[in-house]
Amino acid sequence: MFPNHRNSAIRCASLLGRRAAICAGTVLATVALGAWAQPLEKGGADRQTTTNPASSNVIEQAAPITLKRAFDAAWSRQPEAQSFAARQEAVEARRAVTQSWAAEPATLELSTRTDQLNRGQGAREHVLGVAIPLWLPGERSRSAAVIDAESRSAATRVAAAKLRIAATVRDAFWAWVRAREDLSLAQDRVSSARALAADVSRRVKAGDLARADQHQTDGQVAAAESALAESQGALTAAAQQLRALAGIAPGPGNISDIPSEALPSLPPSFADLDAAHPHVADLVAQAEVARRTVALTKVQTRANPELTLSTTRERGISADPYQQSITLGVRVPFGSDARYRAKLAGANADALELESQTRLARERVLADLDAVQQRVMSAKLVNEATARRAQLARETRGFFEKSFRAGESDLPTRLRIELEAVEAERQAARTRIDYAAAISALRQTLGLLPE
């Protein structure tokens, strides 16, 4: 029984007769209503928590996510990652074909001849033969060279696909980090605006400030709450985009700690760019496959010849015994100059196209490296400058906060200093993220995966 109910019972016990009965009934009704209202209040709170439409609650309940974790999860969902083992198996199977002395699988030939439907003298002939396609001169070794190049190309294709996925994940991840930091700053702004509004409200009640000052601070609270709602929506959209890539819902993590990748050391020379950068290495490998395909096409001037081996069992009439003979032959198809020239021209076109793409990719990567290096240096300088500005703005806000409480400064000045401090904090946070994103972009340009 609650204290209020117990006090009512004591008062009722002191009464007599009808008044005591009425009072006791009132106490019982109060207890019953209180016991019945508690589950309703609890259930209402549960319903309010459950049906809260703020999507930020869903994000906060999820586990924190890092750039490497997001990349690993996104790559595991890609078709290239799931089909790589099957492609390697196909390449090994084709390599086994080049180790065989037959260019194609052998064919079995069966035939029979009889005069049963015309003369009927018992003539019979049965032929059993095998035809084995043979390699053209130089075709076997050049086919093996193409298979070796395709094996290397399959590996570089996977590395280039990883780099492409890394670029997409990096963009989505840093967009989410920016939205997360904006939400944190918006929450701090709301807290600061509410604290200032509460201080002004107390001073208005004391007669130190006018009602107009209260309206100004209430307007700042409304503006801060509106910005907070927009930040929550932006964070939800960024989180959903990252979730669509990685398949996992990102959590807030430690908002005060902006994640960053290690600043890579630039190579002294980019002469080995073909082997270091996955995208360029992929094009180089594809161009090598195309060149070896051209070399293979030059020896495939006709279809493969066939070695035939057959045995024949025959008789002239039914009274004759069967005779056995063996036939060994070679079937050499004629070549077609038009078909050969068309096939060779197509292979040459593919090789030239891939070589041009490789050259352009090298130039593009080198140009991107110059631009990203400048971006990193610029972002570092801007980050240092905005950090100093934010520190000065925080100190200035502290000075004017004390002076405003002491009545030495007016409200407009206090609001202006508060807005300047909020803007300085926002720019400092943005530039910290921009600097970390610039380092990530430099690693992306160098062909390095997230870590």
> Nearest to residue 303, comparing CAs of 333, 329, 331?
333
- With a pLDDT cut of 70, the percent of the chain lying above it is 83
Strand partners, 314: 125, 323
CA distance 125 to 113: 5
241 neighbors 172 (Cβ within 8 angstroms): yes
Q: Is the pLDDT confidence value at 322 over 70?
A: yes
pLDDT in tens, 71-84: 999 999 988 888 88
pLDDT of residue 291: 93
Three-state DSSP class for 130? strand
Question: By the 8 A CB rule, do 248 and 70 touch?
Answer: yes
Extract the tokens encoding 27: 């106490």
Cα separation, 439 vs 138, whole angstroms: 50
**Res 288 pLDDT > 70:** yes
Query: C-alpha dihedral over 88, 94, 95, 98, to 10 degrees?
Result: -170
Q: Average pLDDT, stretch 422-428?
A: 86
Q: What is residue 114's three-state secondary structure? A: strand
327 in Cβ contact with 309 (< 8 Å): yes
Query: Tens digit of pLDDT for each residue in 93-132?
Result: 888 888 888 888 889 999 998 888 888 788 889 999 999 9
pLDDT score of 15 more than 90: no
When computed from its CA atoms, the radius of gyration of the chain, rounded to whole angstroms, is 41
pTM, rounded to two decimals: 0.71
